[in-house]
Structure 1
Amino acid sequence: MNPRLTAALVLLCLPLAACQRDPAPADAAQPPAPAEGAAATPATPPPPNETPAGQRIEADVRALADDAMEGRRTGTPGFDRAAEYVAKRFGETGLAPAGDDGSWFQAVPLLQATVQPEGARLEIVRNGATIALEPRKQFLPLANFNAAEAALDAPAVFVGQAVHAPDLGHDDFAGLDLDGRIAVMFGGAPARFEATQRAFHASTREKLRNVVERGAVGVVYVNTADDEVRNPWARSVQNASQPSMRLRGEDGGAIDTWPQLRASAVVSATAADELFAGGDRSAAQLFEAARAGQLRGFPLPGTLRLAARTRIEPLASRNVVGRLPGADPALAGEHVVYTAHLDHIGTGEPVTDAQGREDRIRNGAIDNALGVAILLEAARELEAGPRPKRSMAFVALTAEEQGLLGAEWFANRPSVDGDVVANINMDMPMLTAPTTDVVPIGVDHSSLGAVLDTAAAEIGVTLSPDPFPEETVFVRSDQYAFVRAGIPAVYLMGGVVGANPDQDPQVAATWFLRNCYHQPCDQVDLPIQYGDAARLATLNARIGRITGDAAQRPRWNDGDFFGERFGKPDPQ
C-alpha cells in the first residue's frame, strides 16, 4: 500500500478549524484533500446489525446525523437540537444530570471571530522598495480576538521553528532579540526529537508562548511545500472565511489569545521566498535545515507591515453532562470521565455526488455521531451492571472542531463535584470494515495501559500498536485537554486487522479520509460496522469499571513526558 495513504489512517482528529485555533499550518498533518466532487460509496452490502447493542448505537447515529441537526456546528440551532437529544438519552439510560445548577448542560462561553476580506495587508519594505503580497493568493490574515482593527509595522526576525527545548539541546532563539519585533517561523519541530517531544514542541500554543515571552508583537507563519501537500493552500483559502472560536473569560475577553501579538498572518509556500529574498538560502533550504535542528535564526532586513480586520462577537454553546454516582462513599468524589465530541462542522458549499445530487450538510455520522453513540452505549452497560466504586461522568462535548474548546472548559472547570481522575475519549472510530482488534492511543503514558490490557483480555479483543506513532494523534483530540490538566487519558481507535479477507479496514479507512472526512458523504449510508461499535462500547465500559474499582486512581508512568509537565502530586 502507498505509505502516504496508509499514514492517513492515523490522521483522525485534526479539527477543520485547526488553522484558526492552532494557526501554524505545519503543526499537524491533515488527511489528503478529497477528490473533486464526492466519490460514490464503495459497493459494500450493508453489514448485518443483529444485536440489541448494535441496534441502539445505529439508532443514535441516525438521529444525530440526521439532516435536521444541520451538521451540528457549535453555536447553531442544529447543535442545540443534538444536545437536547443526548440529554434525553442520558436520562433514559439512568444517568443523573451533572451540568450547571443540576441541569444536563454545562455552559461554554465563546468568542467567535471572522476575518473580514477588506483591509488585509502584508507588505515587505526592504532597500527602499515595497513588495505587497496578494491576499488569499499569497497570504491570509489570521483572526484577532483582541482588536477588530489590527495594524503593525515592525522589524522581523526569523526564528526557525520557534522551538525552545534546552533539555534536548535545542534553542531556536539563541542570540536573537525579539523585543518589539515580528517573529517569522516555520511549523513543526526538529525531526530528531522523539515523537511525543516533537508533538509538544510543534504545537502553536508552545511556539506562541515562546515568542511572547521574548517580546514579539506579531507572528508570520511560513508554509512549505510539504505543508501544502498535507493541507493545500486552496483549502486554507476556502476555510479562511469560516469563523474561528476561543473560550471567553469572565471579563468578556478571549482566553489564551496572546493580546501582545497585535497581528498575525500565514504566507503560502509559493510566496515564502519573498520573505527571505537577499539571503543565501531559499525557504525550502531553510525548512530542511530547521527540521534537522541545524538552523539558527537571524534578523530579516527591512520591516513588515501587517493589517487585518476581524468581526468579534460572543457566542454560547454547551457540553452535555450525565453522571453515574459511585457505589463507595469514600471514592464517589473521584470521577472517570467519558468524552466524545458532539459538534461537527455544519454546512458548506454544495457537493455533487456520483449520482448528480447536491448536498451541503456535513452530517458527521462517523465524525462523531458514532463516537457519541458508543459513549451512550458504554453508559448503559455501566448503569446496568454493578455500580463501580468511583463515579462515572459522561460528557458530549462542544467545539472540538474549533480546537478542543469544550474539553478544555470541562477539564479545567468540571461541573461534577470532586476530582477527575481519568479520561476515556472516543473520536471518529472509522468502523467501515469488520475487524478483530482495537488500536489504543496513549496507553504508554500511564497506568491505564495495564487496565486496558486486562479489559481487552476479559472481553477477547486484540490490541494492535499504533501503526504510525510519529503522527502523535494522542495530542489531536479531546483527551489532550485532559492531559494538559494533568489527567491520565486513553483514546481508542478502530482496528486495523480485518475480520475477513475481502475487506481491508485500512483501505476502507483511507477511502473515508480521502473522500468523506468533513464532507457531505460522511452520513449513515456508509457501511458502518455496528457490531464492532458495540464491542468498542463494551471495552470502554470495562476500562471504566476496572478503573472505578481499583484501589488507586490512575497514575502517570515514572518519567513520562506528559506526566512530568502536567501531572499533579498524588493526594495524601
Structure 2
Amino acid sequence: MPLLEGRRLRDGAGFSLVRDGEERRFAFEEEFLPGINFNAASHSVTAPLVFVGQAVHAPELEHDDFEGVDVRGKIAVYFSGAPSTFPNTQRAYHASGREKLARLAERGAVGAITIGNPVDEAKYPWARNARNWAMPGMRLVGDDGAPVDAFPQLKATASLGVQAARELFEGAKMDAEEVFARREAGTLEAFDLPGQATLTGATALETVESHNVVGKLPGSDPALSAEHIVYTAHLDHVGHGAEVNGDGIYNGALDNALGTAVMLEAAHELVAGPAPKRSLLFVAVTAEERGLLGAEHFATHPTVPRESLVANINMDMPVFLADVTDVVPIGIEHSSLEDDVKAAAAELGVGLSADPKPEEVVFVRSDQYAFVRQGIPAVYLDAGIKARSPDVDALALYEDFLTGHYHQPSDDLSRPIHYPSAAMLSRLNAAIGRRVGDAAGRPQWKEGDFFGRTFGGQAAP
C-alpha cells in the first residue's frame, strides 16, 4: 500500500506567544513539539488562540465544546480524550484525534494545539514521549494521490506539555489549575485566550510502500464460503528511537509480536480441524502504530469483495505476565458477537472480565476500529487480569508494563511472558471464529447501537 511518511525537522520549528507586546518563545522538545504536516514541507501560521475543552461535539449527548466561541481563523487549544461523564462507547468515539481534527477543520480553525494534563502526564511523562520526536508519522495515500486525513485546512498543529500549557492560561478567564480540575470533573467550557501565537515547522516528506500479509482458510460451505471473517494483528512496532540505557531498538515483544503469534496459533488451531462454513482471513497488518493504516487499507481495499467481510477478531498487545484465568473482551457489547464470545469462553472455561481501564478507550485505538468504521462488527480480546494465584496481582503487572515498558526498548523478551495464558487466548479466538463461521447468519450490530448507527452496516432487526 502507498504511504506518505513525514518526519519533523528541528530546524524551522517554532512556537511563540505574544501578549502585551512581549514575546515568549517555547523550547523545542522540552516544552512543545510541532505536529507533522503532511500537506507541505514547511508551514507558518500566526493567529489568536481559543480554548475548546476537548474539542468534542456530541449532539446525541447534548455536549458541545465549541459553544460560545468562534474558532474560524484561530488556533484551537484542547485536551485529548473525551469527558469522563460520557458512556464508554461515545467516549471512545469522541476521543478519536481524527474526529477532533475533522471538527476543527469544518469550523474553520487554522491550527490545533493539544495540551497535556497532570493526570495523563503522571502516567505518560512528556519527556519520555518527546524524546522520540524524530520518529516518523504516516498517512495513507488515497486513490486521488492525496494523503488521507491530512486536513489541509489546518495549517499547523502542535502539542504542549503541562508546564508549557499552564502559560497559555495566564491572564485568561480561568487559570490552568481550574481548567485541569474541570477536565477531571467533565465541566470544561470554551473561551478565547489572550495573545497571538505563531506556529512554524518543517517536514521531510517521502512516499513509501508497506505491506499487509494475508493468509486464507477457505470455507467448507458452497455458499457461505464466499463470506469472510477477518483475524488481524499488527506486525509493526515503533522501530528505532531515542536510546534508553544505551538501547535504541524498540522491540515490541508484547506490542505486538505476541499478538501476531496469538493470531498464528489460532490459525494453526483452525487449520487442524474441519474448516468452518465461512472462509477465514488472517491478516498481519502494517502501520498500526502510525494510525491503524494497514487495517484501514485492508478494510477499504480488501483482497476479497468488500461486502463479503462479516466480522473482525483483533489481537493487540496481550500483556500476559502471569498465569491468568480470564481475558478482557473489548467491544462485545456492540454486536451479536457478544453471544459468540460468551459461548466460546464458557465452552473453554475462560473467564471474561470487564475492561479495567475504560478511560483508555482502547476500542478506537487498535485495528478493529478500522473495520468498525466500515460498518463491520468487531471484537478485541485483551489479556486477563485475574491471576490463578491469590498472591499475584495481574492488573498491577499490566499497569507496571504500561508505565514502564509500553513503547520502550524494554518491551522485549526479558518480560516474563506467560505463554500458556497466551495459548488460552489463541484457543478462544479460534473457537469464536469457528462459531461465527458456522452460524446461520452474519453478526449484526445490536439495535440502536451507537457504532451501528454511526457507521452503518447490518443492524439487528
How far residue 349 of structure 1 moved from its aligned partner, in angstroms, is 4.0
How far residue 394 of structure 1 moved from its aligned partner, in angstroms, is 0.3
Match of 2:293 in 1: 405
Inter-partner Cα distance in structure 1 for 2:168 and 2:322: 47
How far residue 210 of structure 1 moved from its aligned partner, in angstroms, is 1.2
Task: Pick from 258, 268, 274 the counterpart of residue 370 of structure 1.
Answer: 258
Inter-partner Cα distance in structure 1 for 2:403 and 2:71: 41
Inter-partner Cα distance in structure 2 for 1:154 and 1:515: 38
Inter-partner Cα distance in structure 1 for 2:150 and 2:269: 41
Residues 224 and 437 (structure 1), Cα distance of their counterparts in 2 relative to 1, 3 Å cut: closer
Task: Pick from 455, 462, 465 the counterpart of residue 344 of structure 2.
Answer: 455
Unaligned runs of 5+ in 2: none
Contact 2:132 2:241 in 1 (8 A): no
Contact 2:134 2:241 in 1 (8 A): no
Inter-partner Cα distance in structure 2 for 1:399 and 1:447: 29
How far residue 502 of structure 1 moved from its aligned partner, in angstroms, is 4.6
Over residues 32-69 of structure 1, what are the superposed CA-to-partner deviations in whole Å (9 max), with x where a residue is unaligned?
xxxxxxxxxxxxxxxxxxxxxxxxxxxxxxxxxxxxxx
- 1:428 and 2:317 aligned: yes
Contact 1:153 1:305 in 2 (8 A): yes
Residues 371 and 295 (structure 1), Cα distance of their counterparts in 2 relative to 1, 3 Å cut: closer
Contact 1:212 1:260 in 2 (8 A): yes
Match of 1:527 in 2: 416
How far residue 291 of structure 1 moved from its aligned partner, in angstroms, is 4.7
Letter in 2 for 1:492: L
Match of 2:281 in 1: 393
Inter-partner Cα distance in structure 2 for 1:450 and 1:426: 19
How far residue 359 of structure 1 moved from its aligned partner, in angstroms, is 4.0
Residues 527 and 234 (structure 1), Cα distance of their counterparts in 2 relative to 1, 3 Å cut: closer
SS of equivalent to 2:212: strand
Letter in 1 for 2:382: M
Contact 2:445 2:460 in 1 (8 A): no
Inter-partner Cα distance in structure 2 for 1:467 and 1:268: 27
Inter-partner Cα distance in structure 2 for 1:238 and 1:438: 34
- 1:193 and 2:70 aligned: no
SS of equivalent to 1:212: helix
Contact 1:191 1:198 in 2 (8 A): yes
Unaligned runs of 5+ in 1: 1-107, 353-357
SS of equivalent to 2:33: strand
Inter-partner Cα distance in structure 1 for 2:327 and 2:188: 41
- 1:253 and 2:146 aligned: yes
How far residue 285 of structure 1 moved from its aligned partner, in angstroms, is 1.0
Letter in 1 for 2:339: A
Inter-partner Cα distance in structure 2 for 1:558 and 1:350: 50
Match of 2:374 in 1: 485
Residues 364 and 268 (structure 1), Cα distance of their counterparts in 2 relative to 1, 3 Å cut: closer
Contact 2:6 2:37 in 1 (8 A): yes
Moved more, 176-185 or 329-338: 176-185
Match of 1:165 in 2: 58
- 1:140 and 2:33 aligned: yes
How far residue 290 of structure 1 moved from its aligned partner, in angstroms, is 4.5
SS of equivalent to 1:539: helix
> TM-score of the superposition, structure 2-length normalised?
0.94
Contact 1:188 1:291 in 2 (8 A): no
Inter-partner Cα distance in structure 1 for 2:137 and 2:36: 7
Letter in 1 for 2:216: R
Moved more, 515-524 or 441-450: 515-524
Letter in 1 for 2:256: N
How far residue 571 of structure 1 moved from its aligned partner, in angstroms, is 11
Residues 519 and 178 (structure 1), Cα distance of their counterparts in 2 relative to 1, 3 Å cut: closer
How far residue 350 of structure 1 moved from its aligned partner, in angstroms, is 4.1
Inter-partner Cα distance in structure 1 for 2:434 and 2:249: 38
Residues 561 and 459 (structure 1), Cα distance of their counterparts in 2 relative to 1, 3 Å cut: same
Match of 1:94 in 2: none
How far residue 506 of structure 1 moved from its aligned partner, in angstroms, is 2.8
- The alignment of Structure 1 onto Structure 2 pairs a total of residues equal to 460
Match of 1:208 in 2: 101
SS of equivalent to 1:387: coil
> TM-score of the superposition, structure 1-length normalised?
0.76
Over residues 492-526 of structure 1, what are the superposed CA-to-partner deviations in whole Å (9 max), with x where a residue is unaligned?
12222222345443343344334433333333344
Q: Which has the higher contact order (CA 8 A, sep 6+)?
A: 1
Inter-partner Cα distance in structure 2 for 1:520 and 1:136: 20
Match of 1:36 in 2: none
How far residue 116 of structure 1 moved from its aligned partner, in angstroms, is 0.6
Match of 2:432 in 1: 543
Residues 440 and 252 (structure 1), Cα distance of their counterparts in 2 relative to 1, 3 Å cut: same
Contact 2:5 2:138 in 1 (8 A): yes
Task: Pick from 391, 403, 406 the counterpart of residue 517 of structure 1.
Answer: 406
Name the Cα RMSD after superposition: 2.1
Letter in 2 for 1:329: P
Inter-partner Cα distance in structure 2 for 1:564 and 1:133: 43
Inter-partner Cα distance in structure 1 for 2:407 and 2:353: 26
- 1:182 and 2:75 aligned: yes
SS of equivalent to 1:348: strand
Letter in 1 for 2:340: V
How far residue 535 of structure 1 moved from its aligned partner, in angstroms, is 2.0
How far residue 114 of structure 1 moved from its aligned partner, in angstroms, is 0.8
Letter in 2 for 1:494: A
Letter in 1 for 2:10: P
Match of 1:42 in 2: none
Task: Pick from 357, 360, 370 the counterpart of residue 471 of structure 1.
Answer: 360
Residues 349 and 118 (structure 1), Cα distance of their counterparts in 2 relative to 1, 3 Å cut: closer
Identity %: 55
Contact 1:320 1:396 in 2 (8 A): yes
How far residue 293 of structure 1 moved from its aligned partner, in angstroms, is 4.4
Letter in 2 for 1:202: A
Match of 1:294 in 2: 187
Contact 2:219 2:277 in 1 (8 A): yes
Contact 2:54 2:81 in 1 (8 A): yes
- 1:379 and 2:267 aligned: yes
Over residues 410-450 of structure 1, what are the superposed CA-to-partner deviations in whole Å (9 max), with x where a residue is unaligned?
11111123521101111111222112222211111111110
- 1:115 and 2:19 aligned: no
